[in-house]
């Protein structure tokens, strides 16, 4: 092929370098990462309500409640997101025993509504920006956990032998995990789109809610595909407390519920996107507008 | 996971082009020059292709010296997606512009570039793909059409099948065996530019299940192809065929085939958009944004000189599954519409009849998932 016509290579919107460059960025990243950690680890003596209040305050303290104040802060937010993603991937600070099980009694979503109560309904004025930041954080965590579940599965099918060969040699296994990987890729693409939007245009960007709605829909489906494929290829070991897969799959289910609640429900996300297309000149025109980066809100 | 789809912005000139293309399409439609329908493999209109050529919208990214316009891959993407979203008649030039031209640019001789590229860019000549055979579909390396070296050229014997628009196009790029397959089975293959208008080939129609003649079978009986029509190096055919799959697998034609039905549904539903319709339109939009972002990413990587073939295979499989799924969803909405329009019914019939081809053309879903699995380290 001839050399591409443009001399300057195109630059991706988000930095591919996960290293946080400057002290301010690191401080910001610690704050954001700490916030996510506190939300997923039990703080002694705190009720759910108190923890939620703490979180909400943290979001406001972090500057998410309004548009991120400066380009530097937005850069830092994007960097922090990388760290948040890495932590969710490791699933290290999360003990599902505390989160999903109280004593010996399993607490289902229905039995413990408070755990899943929406900390900031997007319908309440003033909470929308914080809810957007939270939702995007959830999307990042979900993408990371899906990648982690898939990576575990990829390793497992190469280690585990049945019928005299590794599971990875069976085409049906290959295709099942390929489909899961495609869903993970689509989820990450959409999440990065929302992340790029927030990092540059701030929480008050007019198109951010639609991108988050889209992410809530696409990630919601992807979680089913990834959890189904991962648990299926693992067999019984994946269903145990002694093996790591459950940490990721349970996190995914929990974070999905929270993400959808933050957006007012998955169905509402889809309907709002549909309304946008109906009120404009159709699906295609709407999609091209929503995906077009706007001016910075500075 | 070894995939990456970094987010890229469409540059200002690409968004400016979008406005230009939309105005052009609106003008064409106002003038009644064509009606919405079909897709990149079916809606054939040489005059339309020539109008695009006159605007500099064919061979957009190629060097000027070969009739190109040296615009970016992202501008080409914007043009493509707007034409496809409007179901414009792009089938005549599509393969030449997307595939044959870039192949000649990369592997063709200087003489071949000078002879063919400016004519492709003007919309004067169109190309078919001569790869599949009666016994070679997904297993492309098994092709049996043979080219034998003779004085001054190559003598070709064999049979190609599913050769779209071979009865209308001017040339086909034919993959033939010229030597031993070797252990990899990928050696000994070569590509030739075959003149479809010379009158020495047997081109027979194959009518598809929609009742249309787009396919043909092309039969070679001692047909002589001169030396100067060999593309690249003899024996290098496999690498040439597979090296640029990112171009043909990552574009909007792989996830927008259902768009006519979707927009027709939306138009009918404006008077009474039920929750089910709103939900379906929203779900469609959400996945479409994900696919489009990935597609823009691949176009930008191509512009930067990378060759993301794996990412492209992933987009095609995901996109094909998506566009096929939408047919079922939007068929189900028929009884939600107060009055299904003629356009809705036509779009439903057309997409339903053609949907089986979407997950076959350009790489079956089984082949694509195998490529993705290899990228995951499973093969």
| pLDDT tens per residue, range A94-125 | 333 323 322 222 333 333 333 333 344 444 54
Give tens-digit pLDDT for A198-245.
Answer: 777 777 789 999 999 999 999 999 999 999 999 999 999 999 988 989
User: Taking CB atoms and an 8 Å limit, are B73 and A4 in contact across chains?
Assistant: yes
Q: What is the pLDDT of residue A153?
A: 98
Single out the residue of B107, B190, B184 nearest to residue B143, CA to CA: B190
First and final C-alpha spacing in chain B: 14
Q: What is the pLDDT of residue A263?
A: 87
A18: pLDDT strictly greater than 50: no
β-strand pairing of B171-177 with B127-130: parallel
pLDDT band at residue A136 under the 50/70/90 scheme: confident
pLDDT band at residue A140 under the 50/70/90 scheme: confident
Helix extents (H) in chain B: 12-30, 46-54, 73-85, 91-95, 101-107, 110-121, 237-242, 245-249, 259-269, 275-303, 309-332, 342-358, 365-375
First and final C-alpha spacing in chain A: 42
Residue of higher predicted confidence among B139 and A132: B139
Rounded to the nearest angstrom, the minimum Cα separation between B228 and chain A is 19
Mutate to test the interface with A, among B23, B67, B114, B373 (most CBs of A within 10 A): B373
Residues 141-160 of B with CB under 8 A from A: none
The angle at the Cα of B316, spanning B310 to B318, to the nearest 5 degrees, equals 105
User: Taking CB atoms and an 8 Å limit, are A174 and B370 in contact across chains?
Assistant: yes
A129: pLDDT strictly greater than 70: no
Count the helix, strand and coil residues of chain A and give each as a percent rounded to the nearest 5.
65, 5, 30
Report d(CA A246, CA A106) in Å as an integer: 15
Please report the domains of chain B, with CATH numbers, ordered by start residue: 12-125 (1.10.540.10), 129-236 (2.40.110.10), 244-375 (1.20.140.10)
User: Taking CB atoms and an 8 Å limit, are B292 and A270 in contact across chains?
Assistant: no
Q: What are B163's two structure tokens?
A: 């050769």
Q: How far is CA B142 from CA B134, B180, B357, in A?
A: 11, 11, 22
Residue B5: its chain A contacts at CB < 8 A?
185, 188-189, 192
Assess B318–A contact: CB distance below 8 Å, yes or no. yes
Residue A283: its chain B contacts at CB < 8 A?
259, 262-263, 266, 281, 284-285, 288
Do B289 and A291 touch, CB atoms closer than 8 A? Answer: yes
Chain A residue whose CA is closest to B288: A287
Complex ipTM more than 0.90, yes or no = yes
Mention every residue, 6+ apart, whose C-beta is less than 8 A from residue A211: A190, A193, A194, A197, A290, B289
Q: What is the pLDDT of residue A97?
A: 31
Q: What is the mean pLDDT of residues A90-97?
A: 37
Report d(CA B277, CA B267) in Å as an integer: 11
CA A13 and chain centroid, separation: 18
Percentage above 70 pLDDT, chain B = 100
Partner residue facing B263 (CB), from A178, A269, A283: A283
Assess B12–A contact: CB distance below 8 Å, yes or no. no
Mention every residue, 6+ apart, whose C-beta is less than 8 A from residue A263: A122, A131, A135, A212, A213, A216, A269
Assess B9–A contact: CB distance below 8 Å, yes or no. yes
Give tens-digit pLDDT for B138-186.
Answer: 999 999 999 999 999 999 999 999 999 999 999 999 999 999 999 999 9
Q: What is the mean pLDDT of residues A74-101?
A: 43
Q: What are B26's two structure tokens?
A: 């609106």
B321: pLDDT strictly greater than 80: yes
Give tens-digit pLDDT for B40-57.
Answer: 999 999 999 999 999 999
Report d(CA B54, CA B113) in Å as an integer: 19
Mention every residue, 6+ apart, whose C-beta is less than 8 A from residue A220: A256, A259, A260, A266
Residue B252: its chain A contacts at CB < 8 A?
none
Q: What is the homologous superfamily of the domain A23-290 according to CATH? A: Butyryl-CoA Dehydrogenase, subunit A, domain 3 (1.20.140.10)
Assess B287–A contact: CB distance below 8 Å, yes or no. yes
Chain A residue whose CA is closest to B272: A278
The angle at the Cα of A40, spanning A37 to A44, to the nearest 5 degrees, equals 95
Q: What torsion, rounded to 10 degrees, do the Cα atoms B308, B260, B205, B53 define?
A: -60
Give tens-digit pLDDT for A27-57.
Answer: 334 444 444 444 443 333 444 444 444 444 4
CA torsion sign for A257, A260, A264, A266 is negative
Report d(CA B127, CA A224) in Å as an integer: 43
CA torsion sign for A276, A277, A278, A279 is positive
Mention every residue, 6+ apart, whose C-beta is less than 8 A from residue A224: none
Mention every residue, 6+ apart, whose C-beta is less than 8 A from residue B277: A274, B265, B266, B269, B333, B336, B337
Give the start-to-end residue ranges of the domains of chain A: 23-290
- In A125-146, which positions are buried (b, 16+ CB within 10 angstroms) versus exposed (e)? eebbbbbbbbbbbbbbbbbbbb
Q: pTM, whole model, 2 decimals?
A: 0.87
Report d(CA B30, CA B51) in Å as an integer: 16
Mutate to test the interface with A, among B108, B253, B291, B293 (most CBs of A within 10 A): B293
Residue A2: its chain B contacts at CB < 8 A?
62-63, 105-106
Worst-scoring range by mean pLDDT, A119-133, B6-20, B287-301, B310-324? A119-133
Residue A165's beta-bridge partner residues? Answer: A162
Q: What is the mean pLDDT of residues B79-102?
A: 98
Residue of higher predicted confidence among A148 and B36: B36
Percentage above 70 pLDDT, chain A = 56
B349: pLDDT strictly greater than 60: yes
pLDDT band at residue B37 under the 50/70/90 scheme: very high
Chain B residue whose CA is closest to A14: B7
User: Taking CB atoms and an 8 Å limit, are A13 and B8 in contact across chains?
Assistant: yes
B254: pLDDT strictly greater than 50: yes
Please say if B248 is a catalytic residue.
yes
Given B133, B248, B263, B350, the catalytic residue: B248
């Amino acid at each position: 092929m001839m050399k591409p016509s443009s001399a300057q290579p195109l630059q991706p919107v988000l930095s591919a370098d996960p290293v946080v460059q400057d002290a301010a960025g690191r401080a910001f990243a610690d704050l954001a990462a700490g916030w996510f950690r506190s939300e997923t680890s039990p703080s002694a003596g705190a009720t759910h309500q108190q923890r939620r209040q703490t979180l909400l305050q943290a979001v406001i303290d972090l500057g998410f409640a309004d548009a991120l104040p400066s380009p530097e802060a937005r850069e830092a937010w994007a960097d922090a997101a990388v760290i948040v993603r890495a932590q969710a991937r490791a699933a290290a600070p999360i003990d599902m025993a505390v989160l999903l099980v109280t004593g010996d009694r399993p607490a289902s979503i229905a039995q413990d509504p408070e755990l899943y109560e929406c900390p900031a309904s997007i319908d309440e004025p003033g909470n929308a920006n914080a809810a957007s930041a939270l939702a995007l954080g959830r999307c990042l965590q979900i993408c990371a956990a899906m990648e982690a579940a898939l990576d575990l599965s990829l390793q497992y099918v190469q280690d585990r032998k049945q019928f005299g060969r590794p599971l990875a040699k069976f085409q049906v296994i290959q295709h099942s995990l390929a489909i899961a990987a495609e869903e993970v890729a689509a989820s990450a693409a959409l999440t990065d789109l929302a992340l790029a939007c927030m990092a540059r245009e701030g929480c008050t960007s007019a198109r951010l809610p639609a991108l988050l709605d889209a992410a809530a829909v696409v990630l919601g489906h992807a979680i089913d595909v990834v959890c189904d494929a991962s648990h299926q290829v693992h067999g019984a070991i994946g269903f145990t407390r002694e093996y790591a897969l459950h940490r990721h799959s349970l996190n995914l289910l929990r974070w999905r519920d929270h993400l959808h609640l933050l957006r007012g429900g998955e169905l509402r996300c889809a309907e709002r996107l549909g309304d946008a297309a109906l009120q404009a000149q159709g699906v295609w025109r709407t999609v091209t507008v929503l995906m077009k980066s706007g001016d910075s809100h500075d | 996971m070894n995939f990456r789809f970094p987010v890229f912005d469409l540059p200002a000139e690409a968004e400016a082009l979008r406005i230009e293309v939309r105005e052009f399409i609106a003008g064409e439609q106002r003038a009644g020059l064509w009606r919405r329908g079909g897709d990149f493999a079916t809606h054939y209109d040489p005059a339309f292709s020539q109008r695009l050529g006159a605007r500099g919208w064919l061979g957009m990214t190629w060097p000027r010296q070969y009739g190109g316009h040296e615009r970016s891959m992202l501008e080409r993407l914007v043009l493509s997606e707007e034409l496809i979203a409007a179901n414009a008649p792009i089938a005549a030039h599509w393969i030449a512009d997307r595939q044959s031209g870039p192949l000649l640019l990369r592997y063709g001789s200087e003489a071949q570039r000078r002879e063919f590229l400016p004519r492709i860019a003007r919309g004067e000549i169109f190309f078919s793909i001569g790869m599949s055979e009666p016994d070679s579909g997904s297993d492309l390396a098994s092709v049996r059409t043979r080219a034998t070296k003779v004085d001054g050229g190559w003598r070709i014997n064999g049979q190609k099948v599913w050769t779209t628009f071979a009865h209308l196009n001017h040339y086909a790029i034919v993959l033939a065996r010229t030597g031993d397959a070797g252990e990899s089975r990928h050696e000994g293959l070569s590509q030739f530019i075959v003149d479809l208008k010379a009158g020495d080939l047997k081109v027979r129609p194959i009518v598809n299940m929609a009742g249309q003649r787009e396919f043909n079978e092309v039969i070679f009986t001692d047909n002589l192809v001169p030396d100067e029509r060999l593309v690249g190096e003899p024996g290098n055919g496999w690498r040439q065929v597979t090296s640029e799959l990112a171009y043909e697998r990552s574009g909007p034609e792989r996830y927008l085939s259902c768009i006519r039905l979707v927009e027709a549904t939306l138009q009918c539903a404006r008077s009474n958009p039920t929750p089910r319709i709103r939900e379906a339109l929203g779900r469609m939009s959400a996945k479409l944004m994900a696919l489009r972002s990935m597609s823009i990413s691949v176009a930008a990587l191509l512009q930067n000189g990378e060759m993301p073939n794996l990412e492209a295979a992933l987009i095609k499989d995901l996109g094909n599954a998506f566009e096929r799924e939408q047919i079922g969803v939007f068929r189900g909405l028929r009884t939600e519409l107060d009055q299904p329009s003629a356009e809705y019914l036509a779009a439903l019939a057309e997409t339903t009849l053609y949907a089986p081809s979407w997950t076959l053309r350009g790489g079956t879903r089984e082949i694509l998932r195998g490529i993705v699995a290899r990228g995951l380290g499973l093969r």
